[in-house]
Amino acid sequence: MDERNIIKKILADIRVEAASEFDRNFERQAFFSEAWQRRKSPSRSQRGTLINTGALRRNILSKSDDNSVTFYTTLPYALIHNEGGEIQVTPRMKAFFWHKYYETTGGFKRKKDGSLSGSKAQIQLSSEAEFWKHLALMKVGKTIKIPRRRFLGASPELEQMVKRIIEHHLELYSKSVIDSLKNNV
């Protein structure tokens, strides 16, 4: 076994293990041990954070060359979620918020006399409608803070995993060299 094969095996194992760990971040709702801030939207409180359609989770991609492995995503909104930051409200965003508000209020159940029902589902729907209305009433240009919810990147846990993989492969290589020397003596 030569050096290039060892490096290829090490990089292949790192690629598989790291991809698995990055995927598990969505299950953990954390970047390894750093918990993600919970959602404020009442409509999505039952779903996991950063999981709406699952597109972000499925779009964690990787590529490797002779010396490295790189993880990335092609989704335009991934960076703001991974690093956090601020976005400005645009007219298009306001229109979307109003659409969600009207979509939500269309689901209000009413009693025979026309008043709103007081069911648990109705109360949840009301808080969701209020959430969208609050967003829709924001002025164009106002900033919305997106909290940092890392799902990709370097971490002490990832470094330990890489170290363990490298040590394992070097141990196997050194055993094969020793065995080869013993057989040639």
Dmax over CA atoms of the chain, in Å, equals 98
> What is the spatial distance between Cα 52 and Cα 43, in angstroms, rounded to a whole number?
11
Model pLDDT, residue 31? 92
| pLDDT of 9 strictly over 90 | yes
Model pLDDT, residue 184? 74
pLDDT tens, residue by residue, 123-173: 556 777 888 888 999 999 999 998 999 999 999 999 999 999 999 999 988
What does the domain layout of the chain look like in residue ranges?
Answer: 1-79+148-185, 85-146
Asked if residue 84 lies in contact with residue 151, where contact means CB atoms within 8 angstroms, the answer is no
pLDDT tens, residue by residue, 80-139: 999 999 999 999 999 999 888 888 877 656 667 767 666 665 555 677 788 888 899 999
pLDDT tens, residue by residue, 42-92: 555 555 677 777 889 999 999 999 899 999 999 999 999 999 999 999 999
pTM, full prediction: 0.73
